[in-house]
Amino acid sequence: MTLKVSVIVPTYRRAADLKRCLAALRAQSRAPDEVLVIARPEDDATAQRMKTEMKGWHRFALRVIDTGAGGQVAALNRGLEAATGDIIAITDDDAAPAMDWIERIAVAFEFDEQLGAIGGRDWVHEKGRVLDGARDEVGVIRRTGRVIGNHHLGVGEPREVRMLKGANMSYRRTAVGHLRFDTRLRGAGAQVHNDMAFSMSVHRAGWKVMYDPQIAVDHFPAERFDDDRRDAQTLGALTDAAYNFHLIMGEALQSTGREIAWLWYALIGTRVYPGLLHSVIAIPKGLPRAWQRWRAVRKGAWQARREARRASDASTSTLPAARTL
């Protein structure tokens, strides 16, 4: 059976990147059935770009969908609600899918009815070069709770993973069902880790989530027009990102694993979310900055922990009272 493919492209104020993305979608060996560009109402640059695009010739239905609210989560949820395809492929406006992107995605879903989601490699173009490398470990959570992404470096055969990356991920409509991107996630624009949360929710629902490095896009990380800038993230954005990360991990892990992960991130952490060890390592670059980053991360982590406990208590209080015989 031939499956209908919808492509969702959330965008904000990156008209030149969007032009490149749509050109790559027009060049597909198998054309998508529809492309949905999800834009904010105040984004005049995108509106002007799309006026030009709509005058051109396309091998697919091209639609512009108003987000109705700011932020990537709102955009992605509007896309899910508006898409009509059996497969919903998602990419970023600053990505350019390879010519066989749609074809490989469709074949994967047509071949395996248990496949709920699939992603692939995003070849990152940065400062005039392509970040190259080879990693077998992609999209996994180690026993310590450490998350290993590596979606931009993955090699080898297709395999099952725990999570996918937003620049290159596709879902079966029936696997998504009523699932939506998590509106609890914080952030003025990017609302980081929404891709991880969503793909892991499909995995928890019992569907197979796969990574195939042959399903590829070229990724040209562009400027973000919010506090979570790639080159100058604010401390508030770091707190929001840590909140999102710990909220997601708290729901992804069982109770014992959750506590192990909590301790590991508090004591060791990573360069992005420093615990005590990584904060000490960062001191030579400036003690005040290291201290501020550690405080911002722990603030977000504690807020997520309190939110998880509040939600758990609320869920328990709504359970029916036990019957007495």
Question: pLDDT tens-digit profile of 172-200?
Answer: 999 999 999 999 999 877 889 999 999 99
Cβ atoms 168, 152 nearer than 8 A: no
Nearest of 304, 48, 63 to residue 193 by alpha carbon: 304
If residue 130 lies in a helix (H) or strand (E), which one and from where to where? strand 129-130
What pLDDT is stored for residue 231 in this prediction?
Answer: 53
CA distance 291 to 63: 47
Average pLDDT, the chain: 91
Cβ atoms 107, 2 nearer than 8 A: no
Could you tell me which residue, 283 or 321, shows the higher pLDDT? 283
Q: Which domains does the chain have, with CATH numbers?
A: 5-219 (3.90.550.10), 235-314 (no CATH)
User: Is the predicted pLDDT of residue 49 greater than 70, yes or no?
Assistant: yes
Could you tell me which residue, 143 or 230, shows the higher pLDDT? 143
User: Is the predicted pLDDT of residue 226 greater than 60, yes or no?
Assistant: no
What pLDDT is stored for residue 190 in this prediction?
Answer: 81
96 pairs with which residues across the strands?
218
Confidence of residue 309 (pLDDT cuts 50, 70, 90): confident
When pLDDT is averaged across residues 201-224 and rounded to a whole number, the result is 94
Rounded to the nearest 5 degrees, what angle is found at the Cα of 119, between the Cα atoms of 148 and 242? 40
Q: Residue 283: CB partners within 8 Å, gap ≥ 6?
A: 290
What pLDDT is stored for residue 324 in this prediction?
Answer: 32
Please give the share of the chain, as a percent, with pLDDT higher than 70. Answer: 93
Cβ atoms 33, 60 nearer than 8 A: yes
Question: How crowded is the C-beta side of 123, counted as CA atoms within 13 Å?
Answer: 14
